[in-house]
Structure 1
């Protein structure tokens, strides 16, 4: 697999992008950060659309940018999926797909038209035109059209930004299977943490045109020094577990974390299936002794790893160890003081089951062609 390497600069009157980063040639790499941090600009550099870019961009042994000398966008073999589907309104979904398939011409066909249709479940949409498709359906067709150009690298620029939470939940599983189904690396731009959690194998976090963190999703999101990048209201952690069982009568799923278990709104996954769950720091409360008589279903034994008071605020971020996995809690400084929290102190993390947004939880992937 070909890795992508960038060492680039782009200067505007009030903004400068300066990024040096390697992206592996497999899986989904999330490019994350607040609006205006340079995510889309970096994609434009990689695709060859940013004429003012300088530096070096290479894909495997091919050099796409060297100083100011650059390979034209159409020669790079890069596919680009945008926020808006950009379908041809006068063509049906099938017509849009056929157009891309024919335009691919002599590009080596590593996969067929039918492969794309089956993976994205597009056959039921063939006869409809763009205005007859839902937002999620339009994006699936747009992704299919891009794949049928047979790109070697796929760039996705906030493709779900215009969708509500339910529609996002429906399309996320389709995107998650693309690298395996087509052997193509993906760089996925978003400012939505639930998308990062469910899709990405790794994350590159940008702030003010610079890389401020890069690595695995869980270890990057748990960093207490990235609250401003994540947004303090949405900052949190990622827990990995396995489905331990279903309570169909009460519509709950039990998730085994190894040393403890969580109850979350019911997820239609088989027992033993692995999944990731994002827990917002603001949804975690702490207790020094195990409480009784609570409506909170999840009481997890933990130890304090680190406490980071927020400057000039009433709050502090606490990083907890749950038998090897880490959890963040955002509480007041007064609570830290009253509970006597210090590094190594045993505590209990309390999380409401309703804190897990059901619509953003993992969904069952429909069978191929179904």
Structure 2
């Protein structure tokens, strides 16, 4: 029977902590690489998918003038200082990945009667906000139209100038001019104007009393509707959202074979106050989101990622094996540890040889 000692036995391994077995700095390098990837992914991928107009939407614009005047075509008498409201309703649905189909109706009314009504279908490119000639587009049933220019919203982050806005009533897209920076409900915006000189509305010919143009005339005359409009848009530039609209509108009837004209509608329409504040708040929140994705995320995540990668590589460099065998513990050279191990083993062997036989 031999006697042995446990003095030289290795201690039992303890529980492994998080990251045990990985080279020093690995987690920092991995975290830094993730942050650097995110700093590129957010502006170049996520932003480009969040910024376009939504494919599906339902909303309306209500513009009012409390002191408008119009020609009552039921009695052919003029009504003044009356509230006139123009409501534009939009039902948008997805139409391929980049397009959205907008079904629009425009209803102009006084408290007791409808003054005008027309409808429109337009395909909108979600990134540019411009009309696309496709897929059953029409204005008031006229499928021969070819709509162009902006439909309602500006492109996100668009340049100040170089835009046109489609007027569906006269089937043309006059340019809009940038007039300067402004502020609406605490939101920084750009102000644009569009001037449409008196233009005949297509397919608007109708029979009206000839006395409208010549008080002594009898019978009827064929007249067409003419439209003059000055529009002002306030646009939040980061999102392209229109937060306010004003429209100085003058409509007249002119005889086809004769001279003179009679006023049909005079109104200075403006977006209702409640809608202005609501659209301004939507634009503010969406602008913060797009700025975070496009500007702030790269500026913050990029340097943090680079710093984490550098720190991880520095840790790996500090913990690399030294010349002569690397490290065997905190502050203890490998050679010293090896000599201690051999010395301990020799002492055990000597004790066993000196032990008396049983």
The two structures have a TM-score, normalised by structure 1, of 0.22
The two structures have a TM-score, normalised by structure 2, of 0.23
* Greater Rg by CA: 2
